[in-house]
Structure 1
């Protein structure tokens, strides 16, 4: 699941990324840290071979504490850990190297054509130098050892033999034991525990692909770099490549390949990178990090077209270079620097304690580095000096200085930002805590030198000086995660080029006079909501308020947090240090420590803490990316006065009209989620924040938001919906907001929004609520569910809006697809009690597995004339459109519609090739009975989605089963491809139009023999539908997005097209758009134009035009110039328009 917004912008100028690998001899060691097995000798743990970096092997003596320590993962962090799943290295195409059998484990997979194998699952004898300590290896002798083994540290600190328990992995065993569950990370094991075969396979994978530091580096790097976009320009090298060669016309060492687009296409570097990576072996050399960093810096100082700043590096292209391009260097090492200094004399000076050059840029920018903490020190010829040299100097003076500064990097000139990873090494300072002291002057950088511990601090110092980041990893899992975090951060920083993006809009349904535009800036990950007055007659707009300007003082904010331990009201507590339980404080801060008080205040919005160990923010309001806001007052009318006159629903039916009146007696509140960990409510009249809620599922990751090296993540990022439900236990109606957390966590919550109490018939209504009493409080948190909740283990990330209503058995429910990245990767429907959050039923489609990952996307409910839920539609990631039959009043009858074929449940329709369906379908009544289900294919939430150019389409499929009738006949579904009529879209814009329009060549659908239509999306590769279609005035509006391929230093939006279509795909008889911009839609406009390109960077919304059912408005994201009227279909306008007010 992507951690940064992918839909925010199109292709910005791709950054340069140079990766430098430590290939020193210590990378061949099999222990971590060094002290475990490095002394007078370099001792290994596996007797497969010895070499210059492994002089001997730890003894196999079962009584030896040294044997136990080096073969225990609690002591030797490099050794096999049964709590970790080890996988073969990832290949360039996302597949993996073959898993080798424990009886034939590959010894040297990194050596081409080497066929050496070893049997790990039998007792074997080896003639080796066996060592009883890191400083005592005897002469060669023969010892026998069972290789697939490890020692559990069961007590003590590992200094005595009775501290350990030997575990030998055999095919007949169960691991950890029959009665002990496996670790959560061991998802390679099918059962509660791991079988012997599963454990042997995991050990074999560790042996072949993870047993040395170099192999861990290969494994982690292959994982992290697979996610790098193809547009990024990646180069690589190694620290012991001292041979001088010609790289892009320049003589250099260290660098083995200059930056190139990281694609698999000809001329791309991904093929060569993976070939290079998978063959890396330790070299007989030291750790010349200063020389390596200087060589990389010199490479980035090349200014001709073949160099890293050129438009097409390695060529003599005369295309101008992009002046805003960023450049990054990632250096990993397992040791402290030694040997060669930087060859560049100026880089050996005390650069961070010297006045830097004056640099000017666009918009009258001016910068000169003046020695300051935490950058400066008293020493020359350090790694930090080299890093500072290539940050503080303009590396390409011939280019305009137009790099966009960020909150952590003020440089606007061409410079190099360095990230460093220390693998299994620690310095004198703690990078997690020492920076505030270094900034304040209460601590100083220690002096580095040849093979000094302080050189590890210098590695960190180098990252600080270049405005990068230092990450320390103590095991293979942490190394892979550290490198992934760096890649994500670079993606995030580069994404700041997109500027402000619009994620969604909500329109006031009462006056249709306002819209609410959430925005975010990725430069500092801040957000805002702007309320805009909208004249629906001409589209003109003016701002009313911005939420960021009306956040209350931090101590005054009404913020509550879920108390997961609470079983009764209140289920949340005030988000204050003193109010929270000890367990909640520990979950938030990691300890019941009063230092957490500052963290809470920071998260509440205290700005004075920023820069003093806490991340700087543009405002207290976090970025709002995917959470669609909802305005809550009185516009929702569920028409529940049409409910049937039954014992379970009579009270609800009879009181609903009065409840609608009661909702008018309060202030309107706008609810939206943000990636600051909160659901926010804002007063519609002033924009002031009135309420905020922190889900308990996020409490343990809230601390990350305060970290100065914060890498963007999602928190409360799912759509928010409003729901009216009847609480029979309290004998009253409730008005709820329900939301999933999007990619923030696998969770959903519901909050009650206050409504004035009912009043006696004939009495005057009570006094309306004020703004403060209209907002929720701690008592209004109804429930929150996540994967730890009973029955919800299969819940995935909720990216779609929840649906809600009342079932035919009288139960009020919330209904969602299980979402993405669930435990089993199947597509399932969850039916949840809307009042309690208790699971009522899971309906499993049976489709999906670890090998064929699936998940159910957005859901659309179908109600009968009495407003009861009778069916649901949803698509999955394998191209299946499912119908769920909910027509019965008996829960046991709720199931997937259309029966089964063999053991497989039947979808209503399946795309010809697997096309992911993520957006919720919509529907209109079909003239011949049943409904026309309208949907599109596409997704945009995984790392590789931005470059996916697979064929996608828009669809209309006729479900001919009458609403409310049981759908059990498999013959009623659509299985014949010939029954779907293909339509044709012009892939070039129409001429003679004012705006960019595309035409449709319609082949009318004859429903006597056909079941629907398909419109391939052909305007540009990668075009797809990810936003829910909307029905209005007899038309369906379906929006598509297409990643932009053009590259520029200017802001770029993802291309958006709005399609306004006849839902039945009849012949076009009148124009749809005002294509000639004369303010009328008539015969002078293009008849075929059904799609318009929108110059916006967020989804559009249909707004009904006052006084007519014949036209609509496609609302813009920003500015009025992009609004566009369209003409509807009067035959079904009234019926379909009413559905726009439905949840």
Structure 2
């Protein structure tokens, strides 16, 4: 079998480096887990869950308290003293706190004269202290009560279960600060580093577990607790506590068992982690034995995260180079095989990050070799043997992925040193700092977000007309993961052949730092107003967000300027401004297209259409530079950009200088767009409504044109609260993948209607109805209000039925659980139809993520056409679940959920290879079963030939033309998640019955005509990449054909010629115009 003929690649070799911006219409979250969008295109190597080994510091210093944020360890605070038991606080009866003194007994812990919940010690020096402690710092009767870590418990007899370290200087800081009233006891952190690190690590792993293969490592404990013998260097190096891919409960158990008990051999321990990845035995432990192959796939990404609170100690002995050929080179030397993999030399005086310093072996900062091991981890090929096969049976030396390495991320917990920065730099990762629970949680979460975001591929297209003329243009989107540049290209089409002829323009040259005439807007969340995009125009809270996490010397003002196209030293340099376009639809704004209608007796819309002729034809697209863009369709010039304020927290990420080179990606504004004509108050306007997809939980609307006013301006923005807030009207709004609808209600109020999306705080599926002019909530219709939320749900993109006045009558939408819902809008207030029950429920694991198609049924009511399946999370690439395409009859006057047993089955019956013009193409035939509408409520077509389970699915809405239903399927190699192009089918069936058409519909013999000389088929294979949603263009009266333009995931445009006219059941005759949404007339 071969790829489809008639593929056009007008831009030649350029598409070898550019990937298509492919609208996956998806989300990323595993079933039964909290929804967290995967921050990368799914058609990428990142769809394989990455390996992440967390090296968690368990040195003795991790027992130290979390400091109050005002403490400076370099400041010498006044000495604090305590009174000896049974004596007055005179000079002779005072002792001061010493750095070395320890509390040896705990039987005298008591509340004393502190308030409830606070405790005091007896007359002993205290360096290791209890949970709640009182100190007597100077004069008789003066008492200071200090809270201590919640992780430590005191039993009824006053005995502590553990100890925590407190430097003398910090205790003195607390005593003096409390006496001076600088802060109060409630401001003092009640945690210690080990306790916080364990708690945060468990939570962050739980939040990311569905998409990451975690493992856990630590420093080898301070004693040989295992009792094993023969260790090369006892009490040094690292130990693997949990293998990669361990169960979450196993990871939790190991984390819970960790205590601060040893030195800080950072480089030694991380070298053991690298050896583990390579399948080599530990340098320092005789057990466990040589680890099994932990790298599953040749395309799998591998990472180490090092979390530590200090500089190394006892970190200078490394494995014999003769037994490790990859390290047997001039970079390793000396009796202890000290590494110099990064090529740096020590450069005293301190601080420095390489080699040995002059302090003793057990002192912090004696040696700095972590950066060398991190560099080695990235440089070495951890699976270098061609004969070694991955889990897909492919060689690890596959030319597409011929090297597997490890990137290193470092987190300094109450530590900020050059060694950790260098280790991240040479390990091609990132460095983070944290000083408390919130900071550590943020640092680990950011590191995992970076790890999860990798490069991918995809595509989307649009046309300037539904009929082919000399002026017809085809537009396609591309993106380049090398720099996350987005590109839109406009092509002229041949009126004779319908093929792409020449490129008219590209945004690579029309939207650049030196060529950018757009106006910019955003939303001020304090004033709830649209404002011109500038730092000074947003609220102080928004300014704080823009100022956060920026490189040294960069301001929020500069960040905003960069977003608008300015070049800022210290931020990422761009040659083109449009960001990558991946899941967004590409919509064309036409001055002649009718997108609404007037109510009876009102001619105002016809008047508006006359004025609309002055509107500038434009393209609308969301992109992951953080903007909704309006682009001149004729020239490619930049007209307007709106940045939802939900983008602000992520803007620094895409502006970072290493955003592209680090291989990471972040979704920003990535949802679908709807264009409509509507009355805003009493004024007709053309409006766009859009969502952010995986970039956030916001919807927004932009006025594109109104009578006599060609100025573009945003109308509103709505956003879910950051944390669940029942009082917030949009508390159940999830990541906004739903493509909105715009229509009148029965009382003539113009509204936007959309599904709540995925990953909401409540995890329920609902339909939102908002005022189109203001964004104010009119109604939220929850379909599963009584659900307990144990299996989170969300409503996908809806479709509607309107009457001649463009008043919405019905809405249909699917959800993640495979339910198809009908909503009744016959009155001003919408409701779930069918007595609150689904119209239909697909089988388990058959989510409905694509918008349904609704057509009129010949016997009354409506036929709802949709497919099931998703391509939204990493696990989907491995799914072989059998998905289905359905036609469900919503029969007038009949209620109750349609049962699967009442549907007529259709099947794929045969794959046929046909050779024409020297090229062989695979076509598919399907069954021709009639549907008995007296007993049946629809039909279904399993997406399989001969029952084979290949994971084929539907991720795009179906379309209709001339009584046919057209849809494309998506299939990836379920046995090889590294495969990144995919394949699919173009399928065309009789819409009413789902059977194979009675006439030839495709030019199977390649003679340029569609007639009885062609074979009757129901579709064809598209092998070169995942097919996107077709753009249908009539070829004109002379040719009597239609062209379907399909942009696949490699960037190629597949053009399929097919029957464009049907007369008396045969191809040819009077042309019938296509309808994407059929209206019910009243």
TM-score w.r.t. structure 1 length?
Answer: 0.69
Q: TM-score when scaled to structure 2?
A: 0.73
- Mapped to 2, the partners of 1:709 and 1:259 lie a distance apart of 30
SS in 2 for 1:782: strand
| Greater CA drift, 672-681 or 210-219 | 210-219
Tell me the distance in 2 between the aligned counterparts of 1:541 and 1:421.
53
Deviation string for 1:624-667 (max 9, x for gaps)? 111112111224313515x322xxxx2xxx13223223323233
Q: Work out the CA distance in 2 between the residues paired with 1:276 and 1:666.
A: 64
| Cα distance in 2 between the residues matched to 1:980 and 1:831 | 32
Task: Answer with 25-34 or 918-927: which moved more.
Answer: 25-34
| SS in structure 2 of the partner of residue 562 of structure 1 | strand
Superposed, which structure 2 residues align to 1:504-903 within 5 Å?
Answer: 504-505=461-462, 507-509=464-466, 511=468, 513-535=472-494, 537-553=497-513, 557-564=517-524, 571-577=529-535, 585-589=543-547, 595-609=555-569, 612=570, 614-617=571-574, 619-638=576-595, 640-641=597-598, 643-645=599-601, 650=602, 654-708=603-657, 710=659, 712-729=665-682, 732-755=683-706, 757=708, 774=710, 776-777=711-712, 780-787=713-720, 791-847=729-785, 848-888=787-827, 891-892=828-829, 894-899=830-835
| Counterpart Cα distance in 1 of 2:777 and 2:748 | 15
Say which SS state the counterpart of residue 1042 (structure 1) adopts: coil
**1:338: Cα distance to partner?**
0.8
State the Cα distance separating 1:66 from its structure 2 match: 10
Please tell me whether the aligned partners of residues 855 and 877 of structure 1 are also in contact (alpha carbons under 8 angstroms): yes
Task: Specify the SS of the correspondent of 2:458.
Answer: strand
TM-align CA RMSD: 4.9
How far apart are the structure 2 equivalents of 1:879 and 1:397?
44
Q: Name 1:1007's counterpart in structure 2.
A: 933
Aligned equivalent of 1:919, options 850, 861, 879: 850
Q: Deviations over 1:970-1009 (max 9, x none)?
A: x4233433212233335x8444563344442343321111
Give, in angstroms, the shift of residue 339 of structure 1: 0.7
Q: Which residue of 2 aligns with 1:983?
A: 906
Does residue 50 of structure 2 align to residue 127 of structure 1?
A: no
What SS does structure 2 have at the residue aligned with 1:1138?
coil
**Structure 1 match to 2:338:** 348
Determine if contact 1:1022/1:1042 at 8 Å carries over to the other structure.
yes
Cα distance change on mapping 1:862 and 1:69 into 2, 3 Å: farther
Q: In the TM superposition, what is the alpha-carbon distance from 1:1111 to its structure 2 partner?
A: 4.4
TM-aligned CA distance change 1:956 to 1:1140, over 3 Å: closer
1:336-389 Cα deviation digits (max 9, x unpaired): 32112151634735554559xxxxxxxxxxxxxxxxx99999978532233234
Counterpart position of 2:1019: 1090
In the TM superposition, residue 957 of structure 1 has moved relative to its aligned partner by 0.4
> How far does the alpha carbon of each residue in 1:469-526 deviate from its partner, in whole angstroms, 9 at most, with x for none?
1222334454444334333323323xx2x4x532454554465732222222334332
Aligned length: 906
- Which of 1047, 1052, 1062 is 1:1130 aligned to? 1062
Q: Go from structure 1 to structure 2 and tell me whether the alpha carbon gap of 1:21 and 1:534 turns closer, same or farther (over 3 Å shift).
A: farther
Query: Quick check: 2:800–2:854 contact (8 Å CA) kept in 1?
Result: no
Q: Is the 8 A contact 1:352 1:376 kept in 2?
A: no
Q: What does the per-residue CA deviation read over 1:382-408, in whole Å, with 9 as the maximum and x for residues that have no partner?
A: 3223323444567778789xxxxxxxx
CA offsets per residue over residues 673-722 of structure 1, 9 Å max, x none?
11111111111122121211112333344333323465533222111121
Counterpart mapping for 1:158-177 below 5 A: 164=184
Q: How does 1:212-227 map to 2 (within 5 A)?
A: 212-213=195-196, 215-216=198-199, 218-220=201-203, 222-223=205-206, 226-227=209-210
Seen in structure 2, the aligned counterparts of structure 1 residues 722 and 68 have a Cα distance that, compared at 3 Å, is farther
Gaps of 5+ in 2: 1-35, 74-96, 110-116, 282-289, 320-331, 346-350, 358-366, 388-400, 722-726
Residue 166 of structure 1: how far off its partner (Å): 7.6
Match of 1:929 in 2: 860
Q: 1:218 Cα deviation (Å)?
A: 4.8
Note the C-alpha offset of 1:581: 6.5
- 1:186-235 Cα offsets, whole Å, 9 max, x none, are xxxxxxxxxxxxxxxxx9xx99x998246326514532551335xx6x76
Deviates more, 1:1003-1012 or 1:1064-1073: 1064-1073
Give the distance between the partners of 1:991 and 1:1128, measured in 2 at CA: 24
Does the CA contact (< 8 Å) of 1:1035 and 1:1128 recur in 2?
no
1:603 positional shift: 1.4
Q: Which of the numbers 1040, 1059, 1063 marks the counterpart of 2:987?
A: 1059
Shift of residue 865, structure 1, vs aligned partner: 3.2
Distance 1:630 1:39 in 2: 71
Instruction: Say whether the 8 Å CA contact 1:30–1:213 is kept in structure 2.
Output: no
238-247 or 1079-1088: which moved more? 238-247
Write the deviation string for residues 291-328 of structure 1: whole angstroms up to 9, x where unpaired.
Answer: 12233445567799xxxxxxxx97899x9995x77543
Please show how residues 432-451 of structure 1 align to structure 2 within 5 Å: none
Tell me: CA distance 1:631–1:751, structure 2 relative to 1, closer, same or farther (3 Å). same
Cα distance in structure 2, aligned partners of 1:628 and 1:938: 19
3-state DSSP of counterpart to 1:1053 = coil
Secondary structure of the residue aligned to 2:969 is: strand
Query: Retained in 2: the 8 A contact 1:540–1:1120?
Result: no
More moved, 623-632 vs 386-395: 386-395
Partners of 2:576 and 2:1078 lie apart in 1 by 34
Which one of 974, 994, 1001 corresponds to residue 897 of structure 2?
A: 974
Deviation at 1:735, TM superposition (A): 1.0
Q: 1:288, CA displacement in angstroms? A: 0.6
- Secondary structure of the residue that 1:621 maps to in structure 2? coil
- Residues 877 and 1094 of structure 1: is their aligned pair in 2 closer, same or farther, counting only changes over 3 Å? same
Partner residue of 1:181? none
Query: Shift in Å at residue 1098 of structure 1?
Result: 5.5
- Deviation (angstroms), 1:931: 0.9
Q: Does the Cα contact within 8 Å between 1:872 and 1:886 map onto a contact in 2? A: yes
Taking a change above 3 Å as real, the CA distance of residues 635 and 1025 of structure 1, as seen in their structure-2 partners, is farther
Would you say 1:1022 and 2:951 are equivalent positions?
yes
Name the CA distance, whole Å, in 2 between partners of 1:328 and 1:606: 34
Q: Cα distance, 1:1031 vs. partner?
A: 1.6
Show CA shifts across 1:450-475 (max 9, x none). xxxxxx43122211222211222334
| Shift, 1:800, TM fit | 2.0
Matched, 1:328 2:303: yes
Question: Does the CA contact (< 8 Å) of 1:812 and 1:833 recur in 2?
Answer: yes
What is the alpha-carbon distance in structure 2 between the residues aligned to residue 566 and residue 217 of structure 1? 32
Distance, in Å, in 2 between the alignment partners of 1:342 and 1:706 is: 41
Structure 1 match to 2:410: 420
Contact 2:217 2:241 in 1 (8 A): yes
Q: Secondary structure at the match of 1:216?
A: helix
Shift in Å, 1:754 = 2.9
| Cα displacement (A) at 1:951 | 4.0
What secondary structure, in the 3-state scheme, does the structure 1 residue paired with 2:486 have?
strand
Cα pair 2:371 2:423 within 8 Å, conserved: yes
Superimposed CA distance per residue, residues 1071-1123 of structure 1 (whole angstroms, 9 cap, x where no aligned partner): 44344545444556554543533523452313133236764424233666732
Cα 1:557–1:1007 change in 2 (3 A) is: same
Of 1128-1137 and 908-917, more deviation after overlay is shown by 1128-1137
Aligned pair 1:281/2:354, yes or no? no
Pair 660,849 (structure 1): closer, same or farther in 2 beyond 3 Å: farther
1:409-466 Cα shifts (integer Å, max 9, x gaps) = xx996654211123x3222xxxxxxxxxxxxxxxxxxxxxxxxxxxx43122211222
Separation of aligned partners in 2, 1:54 and 1:1046: 59
CA-to-partner distance for each residue in 1:1010-1060, whole Å, 9 max, x for gaps? 1011222336443322222212222122233234345598x7223333322
2:694–2:737 Cα contact (<8 Å) kept: yes
